[in-house]
Structure 1
Amino acid sequence: MATNITWHDNLSYAERAKLTERNGATIWLTGLSASGKSTVACSLETYLLKKGIQAYRLDGDNVRFGLNKDLGFSEKDRNENIRRISEVTKLFADACVISLTSFISPYRKDREEARRLHEEAGLPFIEIYVDVPLEVAEQRDPKGLYKKARQGIIKNFTGIDDPYEPPISPEVHLHTDKQTVNESVETIVEYLKKEKIIA
């Protein structure tokens, strides 16, 4: 634990939002591998940026090339992976940027902790459940991960030999086996407009 540190206050989130005329938020997409999280997040990021809305996507694979390159896929490492991302997205939201995360984030308690961090800071946290049946995810398998998990090559793979705990009451529930990418993005955008996060 760090010692001899002091938090330096400056502008509040409300003051930043007023000055920038922007709202920050964390949009947390969770679901099985190959559920469509990253595809939806990429499309949503493009939509927001084209509208002049500050947005940035954090992807479960991409962050492991830098910020979380020291972490594996044990339960302990997955917990730490999500803890770090929760803190990063909180900073983005406080800076009046909409951060989009596409992480399996299989454990409910980790996602609840991410929500708590945001809510205590008065920052919007929107959980999106990107829902797809396991058999559909396995059929898609764009990276060949399910096949390797079934062969025992990959251990601790979510949905095969590691659990996935679905959200109990997400703000938005997508069914990407029934919805197109555009329809999924439209569903999220409608929610953001309803909550006055974007105009």
Structure 2
Amino acid sequence: RGDVLSTAASPPEVADQFEATVVWMDDEAMLPGRPYLLKIGTRTVGASITEPKYKVNVNTLEHLAAKRLELNEIGVCNLSLDAAIAFDAYAENRDLGGFILIDRISNRTVAAGMLHFALRRSQNIHWQALDIDRAARAAQMGHGGKVVWLTGLSGAGKSTIANLVEKKLYAEGRHTYLLDGDNVRHGLNKDLGFTDEDRVENIRRVAEVAKLMADAGLIVLVSFISPFRAERRMARELMPEGDFIEVHIDTSLAEAERRDVKGLYAKARSGQLKNFTGIDSPYEAPENPEIRIDTQAMTPAQAAEAITTWLEAHP
């Protein structure tokens, strides 16, 4: 299922990056970089959409600048797939050129689209075979790489707990690295703000970096609010089964506001800080995390001990 038979004289093209017209059909806006499923013919693959090149005014056909697509809007975007597919341009073959996009969590059809052409870079970039692999690095390190992803509201205690966990692992001779949300925004993600689109891209970049570090054999602690389930799921799917550990640093919004160590909640409540998670931007709590830490019932030291104990029990 998903394969394509063709004549030898006229085979379809094969690629994993495209320009396409997208018709958005969901009440929830399209967010660039968010992972979706793309179904084309009988093939289903993972897909993400870049920021629209433009959206089309359906009355005048004028091309308008856009950061996202809302319900019933039409735009031209680039698509990136996680696997190459056989295709034809929609103008030549509707069966191999038309597609739908599906929300990975709700399974809703969120968009329909038409492929225009493959991007040239999809034909010019190939995987390079390497002799030193993940298993060899793990053997040298004395342990395999993992990603321990701490998510929770601002003020929940993620950074404090992650720092304590790293100290305990380091003392045990483990090779670690801590990616902290604020620290990463000083460099890798300094160009990003706090809109929903920027939050999606923030997590996409960090997930890819964490994957590379884990592949090198490190235990990577990621301390990010990471408010959306879709992006946390995307980060999980980058890793081999069992090597992504989601830790919900759980505290109530009222308690997080009471702590307000950085004064951010006060700014958000007064209107000085827009798109703040928990106030005017949603936080989607994990449904089935590997570890849940209630910071209103546990001290940071107890939380760190609980996480390291779990890691020792699940090597």
TM-score normalised according to structure 2 size: 0.60
Q: Structure 2: which 5+ runs fail to align?
A: 1-16, 18-120
What is the match of residue 8 of structure 1?
Answer: 128
What is the match of residue 19 of structure 1?
Answer: 140
Match of 2:253 among 134, 137, 152: 134
Letter of the structure 1 residue corresponding to residue 306 of structure 2: T
**Within 2, Cα distance between the matches of 1:88 and 1:57?**
11
2:213 corresponds to 1:92: yes
What is the match of residue 171 of structure 1?
Answer: 290
What is the match of residue 53 of structure 1?
Answer: 174
Task: Report if aligned partners of 1:48, 1:55 keep a CA contact under 8 Å in 2.
Answer: yes
SS of equivalent to 1:66: coil
Structure with the bigger percentage of strand: 2
Task: Report if aligned partners of 1:24, 1:123 keep a CA contact under 8 Å in 2.
Answer: no
Task: Quote the offset at 1:15 in angstroms.
Answer: 2.2
Deviations 1:6-43 (A, max 9, x none): 22232221222123322210000000000000000011
User: Which sits farther off after the overlay, 10-19 or 123-132?
Assistant: 10-19
Deviations 1:142-166 (A, max 9, x none): 1000000000000011001111000
Higher relative contact order (CA 8 A, sep 6+): 1
Task: Report if aligned partners of 1:25, 1:99 keep a CA contact under 8 Å in 2.
Answer: yes
Counting aligned pairs with the same residue, the percent is 51
Structure with the bigger percentage of helix: 1
**Within 2, Cα distance between the matches of 1:143 and 1:191?**
30
Task: Quote the offset at 1:93 in angstroms.
Answer: 0.6
Q: CA RMSD in A?
A: 1.2
Deviations 1:79-132 (A, max 9, x none): 00000000000011111101111100000000000001113xx57000000000
2:239 corresponds to 1:115: no
Matched positions, count: 194
**Within 2, Cα distance between the matches of 1:188 and 1:92?**
20
Letter of the structure 2 residue corresponding to residue 9 of structure 1: A
Deviations 1:47-98 (A, max 9, x none): 1111111111111110010000110000000000000000000011111101
